[in-house]
Structures are given as C-alpha cells and as structure tokens.
Amino acid sequence: MSILFSTIESYPSKFQGGRKPKGTFPEGEVYGLLFGQKMDNNNAIYNINIAIPMQILGIKSSNEVTASNKHFDRIKSVVETYPMFQFLGTFHSHPEKLNYFRDKISAMCSKDDEERAIEDAITYEQELLEIIIAVTYLKKVLKTKKSKYCENMIINYLKNYKYIIAAYITNSKDNKVNCVDKLICPMAVGIGNFDLNCIC
C-alpha cells in the first residue's frame, strides 16, 4: 500500500489533463527502500514488511528518479538497527500516460533500471529485489475489472488508476536482473474497485 499510494500521490497532473499545483515539489517517479526478512531454503524467499518512499531525491521527473546516496544510507542504517528488518532492495514507479501504458511491458526493467539494481547489489554485497510499479490514469472507474496475476506481476485497479506491480531479483554474478519466480501480495491481487467505496 505504501508503494501504491506514494505512486498515486506523485502521478503527474499533466498526465491527467491538469497542471501541477503552483509551489509544490516535482511530480513523477517515486523511489524507496524495502525491508523485511530473507529466508534461504532451496530457493530464497523475501518477505517485505516495510516499504519506505524516499522524500529527498537527487533527480525526480516523470521518466527518471535517482536517490540521494546520503539519505539512502541514512534510512538504511536507522531501519537496520531493528534486528528484524534487513535491507532487501528498492522500488520505483513508472508513471505513464494512458496511450503509452501497456500491460506487462510498462512494468519491465529498463536498461537503466537493471544497471542501477546491479550496482546496488554489488555495493551492498547481496542480491537485491527491484520492485517496479507502473501506473496510469483512466477516464472512468472500472468497477467490475478483476486483478490479473502472472508469476512476477499483478495487474489491478484503484479508483481511476490502473497499476502493474512487478518484482525482479538481481544476479550480479551474471550482471543481469531476473523476474522473481512468484510475487505474492494479497492487497494487490485480492482487493479491487468492486470491494471498495468507488463512485462509478
């Protein structure tokens, strides 16, 4: 929910046919850190408990976001003082105009996304998750549309917003990013507009 709500808050007003309110910070992509537990059995299982959107960024626009390293490390060091929370990776959004939005494609890792994720994995000496949430604004609420699920992606709707959340894992040894085997998010797959107080 933190990932989805921060993405909607920062969704560019111009993509909805409006203007950014005067005197506000830039709208566009959001970026944040993921914390929880990693369990190693035959296959690694990542359990995300906290998603923290970063407010202090190096660059923020509708098609790019970079973290401030100083503030990234500040959040990481403070959260990891709690023994139950381990740094697991990062998330960022892909806000798009409706006519550019494509199921599955919009939430794919770009080359820049891959390079940044691998660089983080090498820096922190561990394989990391990369969550991407693509979002667009629809002209009307689609109250009867149900969520769609495939192995590493979930497609769903919240009011006028259609979103895709996708999960990837770095493979720094091979210098690439792979889709996770299975993404499980009960909120994203289990609750849609038909469950909510949405005005049609």
pLDDT given for residue 48 in this prediction: 96
Nearest to 175 by CA among 90, 116, 104, 124: 116
Q: How far is CA 31 from CA 1, 76, 115, in A?
A: 14, 14, 15
- What per-residue string of b and e applies to 137-176 under the rule 16 or more CB within 10 Å gives b? beeebbeeeebebeebbbbbbbbbbbbbbbbbbbebeeee
Query: How do residues 21-53 score in pLDDT, each as one tens digit?
Result: 888 888 889 999 999 999 987 788 999 999 999
pLDDT given for residue 198 in this prediction: 65
**Calpha distance 180→70 (Å, rounded):** 29
DSSP assignment string, 79-94 = HTTSTT-EEEEEEEEE
Is residue 200 scored above 60 in pLDDT?
no
pLDDT, averaged across the chain: 91
The whole-number average pLDDT for the span 187-195 is 82
Q: Are 187 and 2 in contact (CB under 8 A)?
A: no
Query: How do residues 109-168 score in pLDDT, each as one tens digit?
Result: 999 999 999 999 999 999 999 999 999 999 998 888 888 988 899 999 999 999 999 999
The whole-number average pLDDT for the span 54-65 is 83
The full set of domains in the chain, from first to last, is 2-195 (3.40.140)
The whole-number average pLDDT for the span 55-67 is 83
Length of the chain: 200
